[in-house]
Amino acid sequence: MAKAKTTDFTAYVNEAMANFPVDMTAYNDAFKTSAAMGEKFSKVALEAAEKSTEISSKWTKDTLAKMSDVTSVKSEPTDYTKAMTDFASAQAEMAAENLASFAEIAKKVQVETVELMMAAGKEASEEASAAVKKATADVTTAAKKATAA
């Protein structure tokens, strides 16, 4: 009785896998793009933190300087009231100025973040499009080789 011989598909599978290689450059490019985007976002955040710290520091120094008028000895009791009123008025003015400065920083961060996100979306779309085109070309080439064989 003749034995049925089974076909060994190992050679076919190895050949098919060789025709569909994985291109790691796409992964490397994606990592580099992600790292560059992270660097840009970090730069925006660090600049905002630096400017906010400068505003806070200046505000504190100005407040302490104004406190010397409040804490100095006065000759008349009404002078204490005037000193406190002047201090409160100066604090209100400084608060308005500094809060406006903080708002400008926040606005700048928001604008830069939106710009970065839009640039990232555009870049990701372009990379995806290029990857799909390359994959389509690779599959077409592999399919032609497979049908020719």
**For residue range 37-82, what is the model confidence (pLDDT) as tens digits?**
899 999 999 999 999 999 999 999 999 999 988 999 999 999 999 9
Q: Could you count the other beta carbons within 10 Å of the beta carbon of residue 52?
A: 16
Is 32 inside any structural domain?
no
Task: Please tell me which residue, 4 or 133, carries the higher pLDDT value.
Answer: 133
Is 40 inside any structural domain?
no
Are the beta carbons of 109 and 45 closer than 8 angstroms? yes
Residue 122 half-sphere exposure toward CB, CA atoms < 13 A:
6
Structural domain count, the chain: 1
**pLDDT of amino acid 143:** 74
Helix and strand numbers (H, E) in the chain are 3, 0
Is 26 inside any structural domain?
no
- Structural domain span for residue 129: 45-148
Task: Please tell me which residue, 144 or 2, carries the higher pLDDT value.
Answer: 144
Is the pLDDT assigned to residue 84 strictly greater than 90? yes
